[in-house]
């Protein structure tokens, strides 16, 4: 199912909202938990990376700290960075209670982990030259337009599945795709909203382009997003994360973190 999320245009960047503020979630009692150790990596900016002073930083790091604070576990909260290929073994051995490192909850990964509710999803977006950018509803305006997309990607499948009235132009490299949009050789690009946001804000785009229309979520093509992974069956901890994530959203903490690391919102 194709869902246009937060599609109303605004003058200010808009953070996504994934939680119903009226939903009542119980706060699990974690008083017996000796410590809460999050495992992450250092090579996934802006989610987790080492800053100029060598300190572990990023959206995931600050989100983990916010979760600990919400669960009154700040004094027992630890965040450790490991190489990606060592995360599974560390969790299995008990060297950490949770992984917050950009793991997507899929049918395959659910065989290895229990997951919290998704805390971030990556919508598909259209981008066009500012002088030619369309607004919602895009469907009629896009008819017959040449739309660039990465060949073999989930976004190509999604474009052909939901926007069959466009002429899909496939590319093997993002750089070529963006260059042709900037040069006006194609009418639009369709792809990952987060990657497009960073390109639109960067020097290579040179202010040529902007998002057109709203963000599109399609779990059957793009998955359900990122979640916190725990050992299989650790329902108490995943329930605690869900409670904390909802409270962080309702109180505005998530929006603050999102806009700190994604000043050009991909929503």
C-alpha closest to that of 94 among 80, 74, 73, 83:
80
Kindly state whether residues 141 and 202 are assigned to the same domain. Answer: yes
Which pLDDT score is estimated for 106?
86
- C-alpha neighbours within 13 Å on the C-beta side of residue 205: 20
Is residue 203 located within the same domain as residue 230?
no
Decide if 182 contacts 209 (C-beta within 8 A). Answer: yes
The total of structural domains in the chain comes to: 2
Q: Supply the pLDDT for residue 10.
A: 44
Residue 137 and residue 243 share a domain: no
What dihedral angle (degrees, nearest 10) is formed by the CA atoms of 104, 109, 113, 117?
30
CATH number at residue 37: 3.40.190.10
The whole-number pLDDT of residue 196 equals 97
Q: Which of 98-112, 171-185, 246-260 has the lowest mean pLDDT?
A: 98-112
Give the pLDDT of residue 255: 94
Q: How confident is the model over 118-132, as a mean pLDDT?
A: 95
CA distances (Å), origin 180, targets 53, 213, 256: 38, 20, 34
pLDDT at 1 > cutoff 60: no
Q: Are residues 140 and 74 in the same domain?
A: no
What's the pLDDT tens digit per position in 46-103?
A: 999 999 999 999 999 999 999 999 999 999 999 999 999 999 999 999 999 999 998 8
pLDDT score recorded for residue 13: 63
- Domain membership of residue 1 (yes or no) is no
User: What is the pLDDT confidence band of residue 136, given thresholds at 50, 70 and 90?
Assistant: confident
Is it the case that residue 6 has pLDDT exceeding 50? no
Q: 75 and 144: one domain?
A: no
Is residue 267 in some structural domain? no
Confidence of residue 11 (pLDDT cuts 50, 70, 90): very low
Rounded-to-integer distance, Cα 200 and Cα 97, Å: 37
Report residue 128 as tokens: 């066009």
* pLDDT value of residue 2: 60
Residues 22 and 89 in one domain: yes
Same domain, 197 and 207: yes
For residue 183, tell me if it sits in a domain. Answer: yes
∠ CA 107-111-114 to the nearest 5 degrees? 95
* 234 within domain boundaries: yes
In a domain, 128, yes or no: yes
- pLDDT at res. 214: 86
Instruction: Note whether residue 245 is domain-resident.
Output: yes
The domain containing residue 250 runs over which residues?
7-121+224-261
38 and 110 housed in the same domain? yes
Q: Judge whether 2 lies within some domain.
A: no
Q: What is the pLDDT of residue 7?
A: 42
Asked if 210 and 156 sit in the same domain, the reply is: yes
Structural domain contains residue 240: yes
Residues 37 and 60 reside in one and the same domain: yes
- Provide, rounded to the nearest whole percent, the portion of the chain with pLDDT above 90: 79
- Is the per-residue pLDDT at 3 higher than 70? no
Instruction: Give me the mean pLDDT over the 31-44 stretch.
Output: 94
Residue 38 sits in the same domain as residue 97: yes
Residues 159 and 184 in one domain: yes
Averaged pLDDT, 228-252: 95
């Amino acid at each position: 199912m194709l869902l246009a999320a937060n599609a109303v245009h605004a003058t200010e960047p808009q953070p996504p909202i994934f939680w119903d503020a009226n939903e009542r979630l119980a706060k699990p009692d974690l008083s017996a938990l000796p410590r809460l150790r999050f495992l992450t990596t250092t090579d996934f900016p802006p989610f987790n990376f080492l800053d100029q002073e060598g300190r572990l930083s990023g959206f995931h790091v600050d989100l983990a700290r916010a979760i600990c604070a919400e669960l009154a576990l700040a004094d027992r909260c630890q965040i450790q960075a490991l190489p990606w290929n060592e995360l599974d073994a560390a969790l299995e051995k008990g060297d950490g209670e949770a992984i917050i490192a950009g793991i997507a909850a899929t049918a395959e990964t659910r065989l290895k982990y229990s997951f919290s509710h998704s805390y971030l999803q990556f919508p598909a977006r259209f981008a066009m030259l500012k002088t030619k950018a369309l607004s919602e509803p895009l469907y009629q305006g896009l008819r017959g337009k040449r739309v660039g997309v990465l060949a073999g990607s989930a976004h190509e499948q999604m474009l052909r599945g939901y926007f069959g009235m466009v002429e899909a132009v496939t590319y093997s490299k993002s750089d070529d795709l963006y260059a042709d949009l900037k040069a006006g050789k194609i009418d639009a690009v369709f792809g990952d909203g987060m990657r497009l946001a960073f390109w639109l804000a960067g020097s290579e785009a040179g202010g040529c382009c902007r998002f057109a229309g709203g963000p599109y979520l399609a779990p059957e093509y793009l998955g359900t997003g990122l979640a916190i992974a725990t050992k299989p069956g650790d329902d108490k901890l995943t329930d605690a994360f869900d409670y904390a994530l909802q409270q962080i959203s309702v109180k505005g903490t998530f929006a603050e973190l999102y806009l700190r690391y994604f000043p050009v919102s991909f929503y």
